[in-house]
Amino acid sequence: MVFWIIVGVLSVGVAAVLALTLLRGRVGDAPPAAYDLEVYRDQLREIERDATRGVIGPEDAERLRAEISRKILAADAQLQDHGESGGQPRLLGILAAGAIVAGIAGGGVALYTWIGAPGYGDLPVAARIAQSEQARADRLGQDAAEERFAPQDPGLPDGTDAEYLALVERLRETVAERPGDRRGLRFLVRSEAALGNMAAARRAQEQLIEAKGEDATAADYATLAELMINAAGGYVSADAETALRKALDRDGRAPTARFYLGVYMAQVDRPDAAFRLWRDLLGESTPDAPWVPPIRAGIEELAARAGVRYELPPESAAPAAPGPTAGDVEAAGDMDPEARREMIRGMVARLSDRLATEGGTAQDWARLINAHGVLGETERARAIWAEAQSVFAETPEGLATVRAAAENAGVAQ
């Protein structure tokens, strides 16, 4: 309210000064016609001086005196007829004054209504941080968040058969009988998530972390947080934040945890912190990382909310992935067995060298494991799988891709 009072007084004051000037028809202590008279009298005196010095002839002097005299008579008549107004049209002045008042006062209000936020209170930085802290303090726990925000049950995924459901049910019973079975819990987490039972999957992940105790990794907590967020329809609960913090305590560069912590910061009205997290993560990530598309879609809005000038970097294409694919192997089906193996070995060697020197995507690692499985080099495939687990420990999606290849090759634990 104080803002509107100050703005109103200033607008009316400025408009009143301009309007009064127009209505008075003068710019100083005398009307314009009085200034004209002074100018004309000075011109007459100048003519007399020039005539006395012989600068102009008598005829020219007389002609100039007559012309200036007519102007003096006209100005004097205007001053006598209109007095203080000096001959300015009264109606025109009133209309101009009204237009100024309407333009400054009404136009200012209209402009603020369009680009401003009428009725919105002052938000200094300290107040915004205090509001954010209050929002964090009021954050729902996971159970309450799931109850309020859990997405509607979409039903079973396409292709789910009764046999698979029966296997999952037996797995649930087995885990219930042996709650400390880490391997069984890992399978249960993946199975529940595959069926869309995110709440059940996060509970199984909580059991797995409890069973691991101090051996729980950053990836374990990042996976737990992701399952919690999915189970709550994208809402980052207080429990999910705790899981994210524990993941980052174990590995400050954990990408999944950093991405979801940015989501959390945006939800508690800290776009500045969210922007910094996402900007750094985007700069470190490969184009095929699963968090890159949502970051690119939302980081510019975060920057604007944080008051930061930011230009989204151009989207780079994912690097080519040389190496034997299923199509390559099938194309070599008509070759001599030994020649076929040599062809695959050559492609495997090139892919292996590239992964060792440049790194690669989860699909590259999966392709390499599959290739060694085709060649019957089980021990080599097992060694690559062990290395991949370390490389993708903080990327659950990538690890799942490589694990599937390891299971196909028969080397998964």
Evaluate if residue 327 carries a pLDDT over 60: no
What tokens does 261 get?
């912590």
pLDDT (mean) for 303-310: 90
At 333, the pLDDT band (50, 70, 90 cuts) reads very low
180 lies in the same domain as 239: yes
Q: What is the pLDDT of residue 326?
A: 47
- Are 213 and 169 in the same domain? yes
Q: Is residue 292 in some structural domain?
A: no
Note whether 412 and 384 are within 8 A (CB). Answer: no
- Say if residues 274 and 265 touch (Cβ distance below 8 Å): yes
Note the pLDDT tens digit of each residue in 164-216: 889 889 999 999 999 889 989 999 998 898 888 999 999 999 999 999 999 99
Question: Three-state SS string across 280-321, please?
Answer: HHHHHCCCCCCCHHHHHHHHHHHHHHHCCCCCCCCCCCCCCC
- Please answer whether residues 246 and 221 qualify as being in contact, where contact means their C-beta atoms are separated by less than 8 angstroms: yes
Look at 8-17, 37-46, 274-283, 383-392 and tell me which has the smallest mean pLDDT.
8-17
H or E, element range at 60: helix 58-82
Number of domains in the chain: 3
**Which of 361, 396, 385, 404 lies closest to 247 in space, CA to CA?**
396
pLDDT score recorded for residue 330? 47
Distant-in-sequence, close-in-space partners of 108: CB < 8 Å, separation ≥ 6: 7, 11
Pick the range with the lowest mean pLDDT from 122-136, 237-251, 252-266, 309-323.
Answer: 309-323
Do 146 and 247 share a domain, yes or no?
A: yes
Tokens 């809005």, residue located:
301
Residues 102 and 165 grouped into a single domain: no
Q: Is 124 among the domain residues?
A: no
Question: In this structure, are 70 and 6 located in the same domain?
Answer: yes
pLDDT of residue 83: 53
Q: What is the dihedral of CA 186, 188, 191, 193, to 10 degrees?
A: -80
* Same domain, residue pair 233 and 339: no
Residue 125 has pLDDT above 70, yes or no: no
Range of the domain at 360: 326-409
Q: What is the pLDDT of residue 358?
A: 67
Asked if the structure places residue 318 within a domain, the reply is no
Q: Is the residue at 363 inside a domain?
A: yes
pLDDT in tens, 86-96: 445 555 556 66
- The answer to whether residue 226 is domain-embedded is yes
Q: Which residues contact 100 (CB under 8 A, 6 or more apart)?
A: 15, 18, 19, 22
Domain check: are 202 and 110 in the same one?
A: no
Residue 227 to residue 369: CA distance in whole angstroms: 28
Residue pLDDT, tens place only, 370-387: 887 777 788 888 888 888
Mean pLDDT, the chain, rounded, equals: 80
Q: What separation in angstroms does the CA of 151 have from each of 233, 259, 300, 352?
A: 5, 21, 27, 43
Q: 63 and 154: one domain?
A: no
From 269, 293, 316, the end of a domain falls on 269
Report H helices in 155-270: 162-177, 182-194, 198-212, 218-231, 238-250, 255-267
Give a yes or no: residue 121 inside a domain.
no
Of 269, 287, 313, which residue constitutes the final position of a domain?
269
Condensed to tens digits (0 to 9), the pLDDT of residues 229-238 reads 999 999 999 9
pLDDT at 317: 47
Q: Mind listing the pLDDT tens digit for each residue in 127-170?
A: 777 888 888 889 999 999 999 998 887 777 777 788 888 988 99
Q: Cα–Cα–Cα angle for 171, 369, 181, nearest 5°?
A: 25
Do 253 and 330 lie in a common domain? no
**Could you tell me if 35 and 140 lie in one domain?**
no
Pick the most confident of 62-66, 78-82, 124-128, 327-331.
Answer: 62-66
The pTM of the whole model exceeds 0.75: no
In this structure, what token pair is assigned to residue 56?
A: 């102009």
Closest by CA position to 22, among listed 102, 106, 96, 99: 96
Looking at residue 321, its pLDDT comes to 43
| Gap between the Cα atoms of 147 and 231, Å rounded | 10
Q: Residue 168 belongs to a domain with what CATH number?
A: 1.25.40.10
Q: Is residue 83 part of a domain?
A: yes
Of residues 243 and 85, more confidently modeled: 243
Domain boundary among 269, 293, 313: 269
- Residue for token pair 């459901």: 165
* Confidence class for position 31, pLDDT limits 50, 70, 90: low
**120 confidence band (pLDDT: 50, 70, 90):** low
Q: Is residue 287 part of a domain?
A: no
Mean pLDDT along residues 264-286: 91
Q: What percent of the chain has pLDDT over 70?
A: 79
255 shares a domain with 175: yes
For residues 16 and 104, membership in a common domain is answered with: yes
Is 33's pLDDT higher than 60?
A: yes
